[in-house]
Structure 1
Amino acid sequence: MRNESRNELLTKVQELSFACLDMNLYLDTHPDDKKAINTYNSLCSQFIQAKCAYENKYGPLTNFGYSPSKYPWQWVCNPWPWDKEFNN
């Protein structure tokens, strides 16, 4: 597997997050669609893996109990996507 950049990893997280949300909304109106449930569960698994890959390399994406932190506290240590240093 090639070494993905910060932007590539973040894009993958965002795409999978959107896909999970989209499937969630579909399932709200089609709760008996077994194929859609399987797709949703697969996407959720891929999202968790992508989020962990990003956070292991670049630090937490969310706080408030959704992402554990290494020492020292990482939430404030990394550049944000809108910071110039983010792409370096």
Structure 2
Amino acid sequence: MDMLKKIQELSFMAIELTLYLDTHPHDQNALAHYNIITQQLNALKQSYEQRHGPFIAYGFSPSAYPWQYINEPWPWQIEY
């Protein structure tokens, strides 16, 4: 659960920085921060998938055999 919360936090930061960089493309500090957040987010998602299976289907995450995205609980079904 803590891992999913951290993924949500990093995803929110990445989205906000993306929107900011759309209007401030020459802000080097914001871009550096975005790149750090993106690396952390990707590493955390990879760690989540190694423990619990695919985080997102539709070509974003590979799956072990058999197809694992249908395994429960799905990320939104976990109670906090």
Please report the TM-score for the alignment, with normalisation by the length of structure 2: 0.91
Aligned residue pairs, count? 79
- Residue 69 of structure 1 corresponds to 63
Give 1:1-88 correspondences, 5 Å limit: 7-83=1-77, 86=78
**1:80 to partner: Cα distance:** 2.0
For structure 2, the 5+ residue unaligned runs are none
What SS does the corresponding residue of 1:31 show, helix, strand or coil?
A: coil
**1:34 to partner: Cα distance:** 0.4
**Cα pair 2:55 2:75 within 8 Å, conserved:** no
For structure 1, the 5+ residue unaligned runs are 1-6
**Cα pair 1:58 1:78 within 8 Å, conserved:** no
What SS does the corresponding residue of 2:44 show, helix, strand or coil?
A: helix
Q: In 2, Cα distance between the equivalents of 1:81 and 1:24?
A: 24
User: Aligned letter for 2:28?
Assistant: K
Q: Deviations over 1:22-47 (max 9, x none)?
A: 10000011110001000000000000
Q: Deviations over 1:16-69 (max 9, x none)?
A: 111100100000111100010000000000000010111110111110100000
Q: Percent identity?
A: 46
Superposition CA RMSD, Å: 1.2
